[in-house]
A and B are shown apart, each in its own frame.
Chain A
Amino acid sequence: MANDPMQQFEIKKIFDLPKIAGQDISFTNSSLWMVLAALGVVVFFALTAKGKLIPGRMQSLGEMSHEFIANMLKDTTGPEAIKFFPYIFGIFFFILFANLFGMNPYAFTSTSHLAVSASLALFTIGLVVVAGIWKNGFKWFKIFAPAGLPLPMYILIIPIEIISFLSRPVTLAVRLFANMTAGHVMLKIFAIFIAFLMGSGGWKIFAAIGPIIGTAAIVALEFLVAGLQAFVFAILTCVYLNDVYHVDH
């Protein structure tokens, strides 16, 4: 264990793969934990999808998750957005599983990387733009010009709306990546501090109780953040999908 709290985010090759279009796509620790998160979601929900009339515990969990995401989508976006249900479901549980798997010691938190959170954010916003134009044609661009304002106001409103729209993927990406990184850095710093105090000998060994309690508290907080960030990402996706269906807002 090095004394560098950023070392845990280092990407390490597990095995090499031939380059595609000049890009290195080797299987790394990040790839491993993303594949495990995806596999975890698939295995977990495959176990819950039994389709019995009277559900067991696993099936209840699957159905609760299904209804939770479906209700979130219906309440935030509307019943017509049900086409996006698998996407929201996938986003929520992929991020949740990646975050939770990352809480294990020695595990890698793939969502703490900007490349991953930015890809998810850009794909989500791209989906909103493509679906919006697909459904409304070029009338979709009316979301930048809310109806019923005096004409001079549009000079001010349209740039604001465009900036606020463009900042959505940025905030989505940075929120997830920064939360996960900051949490893990904080955990690492406390852990390093424990090791430092224990290694110093003398009365300082007893002082290590402070950072131990701190670490325990932060672990609990990080579990909350893991769930919360997945939820925030999913519900914001639902909110942004509003723009596909409600152009005249």
Chain B
Amino acid sequence: MAAEKSYDDATKAADAASGGMPQFAIETWSGQIFWLFLSFGVMYFILSRFILPKIGQGLTDRGDRIADDLDEASRMQQQATQAEADYERALADAKAKAHNISETTRKSIDEELTAEAEASEDLFARKQAEADARIRKIKTAALGKIDDVAADTVGEIIAKIGGMKASAASVKSAISRVKG
């Protein structure tokens, strides 16, 4: 940039005085400081008012959205867990009910069988008792007739062999003596 004019002659003199370092040419400082504060100030104003809040807002929004999505996901997971627990409980209930029904059925069948068996036993016992009683009666009747038949037979035998008639009463008493 040789075409550009040097700052001014005084600057050059000052440069020479400061050992050739333009940084120490003090008369250029005010201009540099002025433009630094102007450019930095305007930049700071625009950054802090408009640009940085917008970038920050974008970051916050995304963070919020991610947090919301995570909340939603955990809510749905909770629902899924709840649904699973409900299902498990329903299944357990159904199992218990089924078990109950089978138990009840088994019990009622058992009772029925027992009742039938008891009824049959009663009937059998009654029939046996009846039969027993009849047998006893017949036996008694038969035994009672045996004496008469025996007396008759003995009377007949005596009449045939001895030629004499024995009264039925005496024969009977004689038999009962022999038997006794």
Residues of A within 8 A of B (CB): 4, 6, 9-14, 20, 23-31, 34-35, 37-39, 41-42, 45-46, 48-53, 55, 59, 62-63, 66-67, 85-87, 89-90, 94, 106, 110, 112-116, 119-120, 177, 181
Contacts and interface: CB of A to CB of B under 8 A. Distances in A.
B55 A11 contact: no
Interface string B13-45: 001000011111101111111111111101110
B28 A11 contact: yes
B138 interface: no
B22 A11 contact: yes
B153 interface: no
A56 to B, nearest CB: 11
Interface in B46-74: 46-48, 50-52, 54-59, 61-62, 65
A89 B33 CA distance: 20
List 8 tightest A-B contacts by C-beta distance, closest first.
A86-B48, A31-B35, A38-B43, A23-B30, A38-B39, A49-B54, A115-B32, A115-B29
Contacts of B29: 115
Given A89-B52, A115-B28, A6 B58 contact: no
Interface stretch (B1-9, B92-100, B107-115): B1-9
A31 B6 CA distance: 15
Nearest to B19: A6
A11 B11 contact: yes
A78 B25 CA distance: 40
Contacts of A87: 44
A53 B65 contact: yes
25 contacts: A6-B21, A9-B23, A10-B15, A11-B25, A12-B5, A25-B35, A28-B32, A30-B31, A30-B35, A34-B39, A38-B43, A45-B47, A45-B52, A49-B55, A51-B57, A52-B58, A66-B55, A86-B47, A110-B32, A114-B24, A115-B29, A119-B33, A119-B37, A120-B36, A177-B23
Contact of B58 (A26, A51, A106, A177): A51
A34 B27 CA distance: 18
A216 B50 CA distance: 40
A31 B31 CA distance: 8
Contacts of B55: 45, 48-49, 51, 62-63, 66
Given A50-B58, A67-B59, A94-B40, 13 more contacts: A11-B25, A24-B27, A25-B31, A29-B1, A34-B36, A34-B39, A38-B43, A39-B39, A48-B55, A63-B58, A89-B52, A115-B29, A116-B36
A42 B54 CA distance: 13
Contact of B35 (A34, A62, A90, A114): A34
